[in-house]
Amino acid sequence: MIEVRGLSKHYGNVKAVDGLTFDVKPGIVTGFLGPNGAGKSTTMRMIIGLDNPTEGSVTIKGKSYRELPAPMYEVGALLDAKAVFGRRSAYQHLNWMAQAGGVPKSRIDEVLDIVGLTSVAGKSINGFSLGMYQRLGIAGALLGDPEILLFDEPVNGLDPEGILWIRNLMKRLASEGRTVFVSSHLMNEMEETADHLIVIGRGKLIADTSVSDFIQRSTKSHVRVVSPQAAELAPRLDNAGATITIADDGALIVSGIEAAQIGDIAASHSIRLHELSPQRARLEAAFMETTRDSVEYQAGTPEAVAAVFAEPTQAPTEQEVR
């Protein structure tokens, strides 16, 4: 259990983190969602005592991180996979970590096996791909077999296989009863992995809710209707209480009534339908709706906000890659 209370971090006049209060609970994957520059990494650094809060506190089972007698046994963190000294082998890197954390040497082989790096354990880290760096970072986080795991943008720059592996690992770690706290600016990634969401924008808490609630609450779902007799159908749907807008391709975007009801109305008036598709609100859409006012560097238009989150499966922006 991580308890964040009134946490703030100011850099001069900039409030990178602004009065955050939330808990991260065991047994589930908690997603930490926000656009680039929202304060996710700063918050995570404060959780493990790297940065000092301007105000407020973070405690891990009631203690501040710097007071933990055996921190590796409590918290494993992958904040920056590239933050390793390259002219060392993977094994040697894990070896100094294990020694510093009081972890028995036998555990190094175990974590290398878990992350699938056993065959390259003796190789210099310099030659590793980004995915291998991530795996090595995760191996380091798992060394102390900790109850709490923090991952900052773990899928950044990974190939689909790597992304799937990390997703499954996080779910498995949570199912073992651990606290898993994972940050991302990729909405669809959180939709796949997280059970609960902490959403922040411009350092402030926007939502602390389950994923399904977040989607339901934040946006209305709608039904897309294509009909050659749209002009006849629209007033009848309007009479039934629906709200209708017209999409660029001429389709009706209907909200307020269910797809089944629309089909029945059309049938009863012998109106032909070419498409009748309920559109489930995506987490992404919900997120954009909620953080519209809190995106840093906003150009002031909804299109600009949309651009920030366009094509979320593509390579991350430069800002987040270190």
Q: Which residues of the chain form contacts with other proteins (CB under 8 A)?
A: 45, 48-52, 65-66, 68-73, 77, 79-80, 82-89, 92, 95-97, 99-103, 110, 113-114, 116, 140, 142, 145, 147, 172-173, 176-178, 322
Burial of residue 191, with CB atoms counted within 10 A of its CB: 0-12 exposed, 13-18 middle, 19 or more buried:
buried
Is 3 or 289 the residue whose CB approaches other proteins more closely? 3
Is 178 or 222 the residue whose CB approaches other proteins more closely? 178
Is 48 or 254 the residue whose CB approaches other proteins more closely? 48
Cβ of residue 38: shortest distance to other proteins, in angstroms? 18
Cβ of residue 24: shortest distance to other proteins, in angstroms? 17
Is 150 or 305 the residue whose CB approaches other proteins more closely? 150
Is 99 or 313 the residue whose CB approaches other proteins more closely? 99
> How far is residue 151's CA from residue 59's CA, in Å, rounded to a whole number?
17
Distances (CA, A) of 118 to 64, 91, 113: 34, 9, 5
Is 94 or 230 the residue whose CB approaches other proteins more closely? 94
Cβ of residue 48: shortest distance to other proteins, in angstroms? 5
> How far is residue 187's CA from residue 184's CA, in Å, rounded to a whole number?
7
Tokens of 76: 């494993």
Cβ of residue 226: shortest distance to other proteins, in angstroms? 47
Contact yes or no for 17/41 (Cβ under 8 A)? no
Cβ of residue 299: shortest distance to other proteins, in angstroms? 30
Is 4 or 143 the residue whose CB approaches other proteins more closely? 143
Cβ of residue 37: shortest distance to other proteins, in angstroms? 17
> How far is residue 287's CA from residue 151's CA, in Å, rounded to a whole number?
20
Contact yes or no for 237/245 (Cβ under 8 A)? no
Cβ of residue 32: shortest distance to other proteins, in angstroms? 17
Taking only Cα atoms into account, the Rg of the chain, rounded to an integer number of angstroms, comes to: 24
> How far is residue 100's CA from residue 173's CA, in Å, rounded to a whole number?
24
Is 96 or 246 the residue whose CB approaches other proteins more closely? 96
Cβ of residue 83: shortest distance to other proteins, in angstroms? 3
